[in-house]
Amino acid sequence: MTEEITQSFGKGEGKLLNLIYPKPLPMRLDRWLTSQRAEQSRARIQKFIEAGLVRVNGIQGQAKTPLRQGDEIQLWMPPPEPLSYLKPERMQLNVLFEDEHLIVLNKPSGVAVHPAPGHKDGTLVNGLLHHCPDLPGISGKLRPGIVHRLDKDTTGCIVVAKSQKALVKLQVQIQKRIASRNYLAVVHGVPKGEEGTIIGAIGRHPVDRKKYAVVSDEKGRHACTHWKLIERLNDYSLMSFKLDTGRTHQIRVHCAYTGHPVVGDSTYSRCRKLPINLSGQMLHASKLGLNHPITNVRMEFEAPLPELFERLLIVLRKKKRVSTQ
């Protein structure tokens, strides 16, 4: 049976997975497979489905196919695509921790995490391939070892896996909120209250498809952001954020949605006069907590604020002192 399916799904190396849907309530095929294969993104699972590599009860599945208890799912996992066209680049990496299983970095502003249209070179992945030659083949062709992402102009803590086993376990920690991610940001205005939670599904912007927005639950993915007010700075605020979910641009979108966009965010903040010239949004992944994927020892990492972020705070605090005199 396995040989027959292998021939019909595709030739060459790969892996056939036979799964049974166990839940009494129905769920979309793509969402359930993503929950079962933590090392694969939902977009990549959807590509497998579109390529005809997934069957439900012997019939080719669709992303929206509703699974019911007892359904038999067969997923043909093709081998990782080669990374030969990705060039390793010598890059100054700010390493917070490294062993044979993972590496934690303090990412600078202006560096994309992985290649994408317009960013084929000079990404963190290019630098990692030079630093860690064994990364190719882990987690797909463009994101070797990437557990989670930071936007190009967001700075701070990011963890990268150095083996497939470490990758899977770390991604499960992100998914199940075992890993903790804390951010600092300077935003426009002052929020009401000292702390709160923003809940709003995030999906593609209905007009500008290059942006994301808070949309209906049916059109987006659940997103939850906890915030605390750290310091009032006249017309600005220093805030901390903790993520329950990890949607694209989540903090930036949620801040804009509440009327307090991140300072320097050219995508989600209308053009405003700023106290100093900024090269990107003032958003910093300040702390990262996780269990070591092999030893299970709890580890906590902290990245100091970048110079530009510190300079902005100095200017805002001086202006606050002057206005109160």
Residue 170 has which token pair? 């770390």
Residue 126 has which token pair? 């290019």
Closest CA to 283 of 148, 210, 159, 187: 187
**Active-site pick, 151, 217, 244, 265:** 151
Q: Hey, which residues does 203 pair with through a beta bridge? A: 213
Closest CA to 302 of 201, 136, 131, 183: 183
In angstroms, the CA 67 to CA 73 distance is 9
Tokens 């002052």 correspond to: 190
Collapse the DSSP code of 260 into the 3-class scheme (helix H, G, I; strand E, B; otherwise coil) and give the result. Answer: coil
In angstroms, the CA 156 to CA 243 distance is 15
For residue 69, give every residue at least 6 positions away whose Cβ sits within 8 Å of its Cβ, in sequence order, or none. Answer: 21, 22, 23, 24
Closest CA to 83 of 37, 146, 36: 146
H helices of the chain, where? 2-9, 29-36, 42-50, 124-131, 164-175, 250-257, 307-324
| Strand positions, DSSP E, 125-172 | 155-161
Q: What's the number of CA atoms in the CB half-sphere (13 Å) around residue 101?
A: 12
Q: In this structure, are residues 155 and 186 in contact, taking their beta carbons and an 8 Å threshold?
A: no
Distances (CA, A) of 310 to 108, 182, 185, 238, 314: 14, 17, 11, 11, 6
Closest CA to 160 of 117, 111, 113: 113
Task: Tell me, yes or no, if 244 is annotated catalytic.
Answer: no
Q: In this structure, are residues 73 and 67 in contact, taking their beta carbons and an 8 Å threshold?
A: yes
Active site amino acids: 151
